[in-house]
Amino acid sequence: MASTAATARTTRAAKGLETIAAPRRRPPISKIVGRILFWLLILFILFYTLFPFYWAIVSSLTFDSQLFNTPASYWPSQIDWSHYAYVLRNDDFLKALRNSVVVSVGTVAIALLLGSLAAFALGRIQFRGRTAILYIILSMTMFPGVAILGSLFLMIRGEWFLHTPNLYNTRIALIVTYLIFTLPFTIWVMTQFFKAMPGELEEAALVDGAGYMRVFWQILLPLAAPGLVTTGLLAFIAAWNEFLFALTFTNNYDARTVQVAISQFSGRTQYELPYANRMAASVLVTLPLIALVLIFQRKILAGLTAGAVKG
Amino acid sequence: MSASADVAPLPEVSTATQRRERPAGTLGRRRERLAWLLVLPSLLVVLLVALYPLIQTFRLSFTNTRLASARTPRVVGFDNYVDLLREDAFRSTLWHTVVFTVSSVFFETILGLAIALVIHSNFRGRGGVRTAMLVPWAIPTVVSASMWQWMYHDVFGVVNDILVNRLHILDQKVAWLANPATALPAIIAVDVWKTTPFMALLLLAGLQLISTDIYEASLVDGANRVQQFFQITLPLLRPALLVALIFRTLDAFRVFDVIYVMKQFAPETMTVAVYARQQLIDLAKLGRGSAAAVIIFLCIFVFVVLYTRLIKVEEM
């Protein structure tokens, strides 16, 4: 597969060199075969990446009676919306959806607020301890959640040295614990955004007598808006997709998120296989993410390579 | 080398270095105080929800604490660790974690590199293919696990349908997840599917940094494609490859979601993180579970040290 890309590059390079040195000319038939193989490869890559989600959509739209046909049909002959109707009428699922929105939005809002303040200091102000803080923040982005699961569980239930209320099975517990992976990531990426801005901006404002905070709110933060959108999106996706904490710190639909709901989705009766409903629920919680990703794909690609952090 | 070099080029003369040269007067001190004030809320959060619980995990791992138990916990030294390492069940979770990590990172890298090289060439619809790569990445792990669980279904699953009825590669249907021999490989395949695009996109960003001049020059020197790949592409891609590898290794080593959703606590696929969660919460053995969690943490810590060395914070 490696050679296909190399071929394309070689031919591109060869075109440029034609005036300098006569390149070896290949018979056109092999070129055509090469083109066909290349497109087959592209088709295969697309099939590999997209088919599972396509299959989830097809299954969610298939009548239960046809779902268990063998051999399977790859194109639904009739579309059946009943699984979506079932999921959207399911109180538990709707509650879970609301919990997920509240938790993800809450976490992202706090992470962006605290994170951009910290990133402003780390990116624009030279002070002692800056490097140490950056190291701490960076190592936090790679923190394994399971390493603190037990102690967080105790803290959430108020069983530690401070007298805190029992937050077990609340959305607040999830919002606060989700900061573990959203905040360091936000700080890390936003620091790079602030750092990349030209220094004259604030120098000029500071000479004019504006305070640091005014420079931050009125000049730098508006300029950092694209960065805020990117990090906010990535943090939102990470929070929306989180599973371990949501599973451990909740026990009913007062706080359960959609990820936990899907993992525990069952059929209308205990004899019914839940697959089609589960696929409908899966498609419903994934479509908003895919829409966001498609709309903001450029920003997301830039942010992914900037932070190189999955969450 | 920095992971960000390709996105946010740092200004040649950073304002920070200019400032450092200034004499620290009252203004400097005020600025320093402001910086700490701005960082403080974030530091407090990190301290409260990450560092403190981490220290607690270490402390708990040396005790026999149980969840919701009236018994006063006792310090037991390294007993939890010794017990764990003597126990076959735990050793096999370590083994599964290593198998999972090594094989999924290996296949992701090979496939990701291949896909990145294909997308890197110029063709119509390239942007579309790149967008399609984001779909598996955006799908929540829980969703992708349930999708594949359905695809792997022993009787009605599409995987068996393709392999048995369409391509005739297999003679009879396989119970991919129920069969202990195929369960872990099947789950690894799901992880590879989900994370290969991420790998491909990171490597693609690395490939785009390599100047085409080098290839043209090597062509003049008479290098063939294989030589170009091994002597130009691979060495120049090394930084991007390393970052991607380390990130994926860290992520794979703590794997929980995909295993738990597809197989819960089944012994044949249990990884250390799943084991830790079962001990900590389901069996209420906080001490023992914390010891397992510390083992994961220490393994990952080694990689983190490696990583922070690679990307050099000072240059930020």
Judged by phi (left if over 0) then psi (alpha if -120 to 50, else beta), residue A93 lies in alpha
- pLDDT tens sequence across B205-217: 888 888 888 888 8
Residue B1 has pLDDT above 80, yes or no: no
Tell me if A17 and B219 make a contact (CB, 8 A cut-off): yes
**Contact between B243 and B310 (Cβ < 8 Å):** yes
**Residue A221: predicted pLDDT:** 87
Write the pLDDT tens digit of every residue in B245-298.
888 898 899 999 999 999 999 999 999 999 999 999 999 999 999 999 999 999
Q: Do B142 and A262 touch (CB under 8 A)?
A: yes
Q: Which residues of A touch B281 (CB under 8 A)?
A: 149-150, 153, 248
The first and second tokens of residue B282, run together, are 């389901």
Report the alpha-carbon distance of residue A300 to residue B1 in Å, rounded.
Answer: 21
Q: Which of residues 250-269 of A touch B (CB under 8 A)?
A: 259-260, 262-263, 265
- Segment-wise mean pLDDT, segments of 10 residues, chain A, 311 residues: 48 47 66 91 94 94 80 79 91 95 97 95 89 86 87 92 90 96 92 84 74 82 88 93 96 94 70 80 92 85 60 30
Band of the pLDDT at B156, cuts 50, 70, 90? confident
Cβ neighbour number for residue B211 with a 10 Å cutoff: 10
Locate the chain B residue with the closest alpha carbon to A211.
Answer: B31
| Contact: A131, B304; criterion CB under 8 Å | no
Confirm or reject contact between B172 and chain A (CB < 8 A): no
Residue B190 pLDDT level (bands cut at 50, 70, 90): very high
Contact state of B202 with A308 under an 8 Å Cβ cutoff: yes
User: Which pLDDT score is estimated for A179?
Assistant: 96
The token duo for A129 is 């301890």
Q: Which domains does chain A have, with CATH numbers?
A: 2-60 (no CATH), 86-307 (1.10.3720.10)
Per-residue model confidence (pLDDT) at position A55: 94
The ranges assigned to domains in chain B are 92-315
Nearest by CB to residue A136, choosing from B46, B56, B316, is B46
A6–B225 CB contact, under 8 Å: yes
Cα separation, A206 vs A218, whole angstroms: 12
Chain A residues near residue B159 by CB distance under 8 angstroms: none
A40-64 burial, b for 16+ CB within 10 Å, e for fewer? Answer: ebbeebeebbebbbebbbbbbbbbe
pLDDT at position B34 over 70: yes
What DSSP element (H or E) covers A204?
Answer: helix A200-207
User: Residue B304 and residue A293: Cβ atoms within 8 Å?
Assistant: no
For B218, the token pair is 């090597």
Is the predicted ipTM greater than 0.90, yes or no?
A: no
The model's pLDDT over B230-240, given as tens digits with 9 standing for 90+, comes to 888 888 888 78
Cβ of A153 and B281 within 8 Å? yes
Q: Is B152 on the interface with A (CB under 8 A)?
A: no
Selected residues 73-102 of chain A with any CB under 8 Å from a CB in chain B:
none
Nearest to A52 by CA among A267, A234, A290: A290
pLDDT of B2 strictly over 60: no
Cβ contact B101:B249 at 8 Å: yes
DSSP character at residue B313: G
Q: Which residue of A has its CA nearest to B306?
A: A139
Asked if A215 reaches chain B (Cβ–Cβ under 8 Å), the answer is no
Angle at A57 between CA A51 and CA A60, to 5 degrees: 140
Please tell me the class of the B92-315 domain: mainly alpha
In chain A, which residue's Cα lies nearest the Cα of B11? A196
> What does DSSP assign to residue A147?
G
Sign of the dihedral through C-alpha B97, B103, B109, B115: negative
Cis peptide, bond prior to residue B267, ω within 30 of zero: no
Give me the pLDDT at residue B311, please.
61
Mean pLDDT of the region B141-145: 95
Write the DSSP symbol of residue B285. B
- Cβ contact (<8 Å) for A285 and B143? yes
Interface of B with A in 56-115 (CB under 8 A): 56-57, 60, 67, 113-115
Averaged pLDDT, B44-63: 94
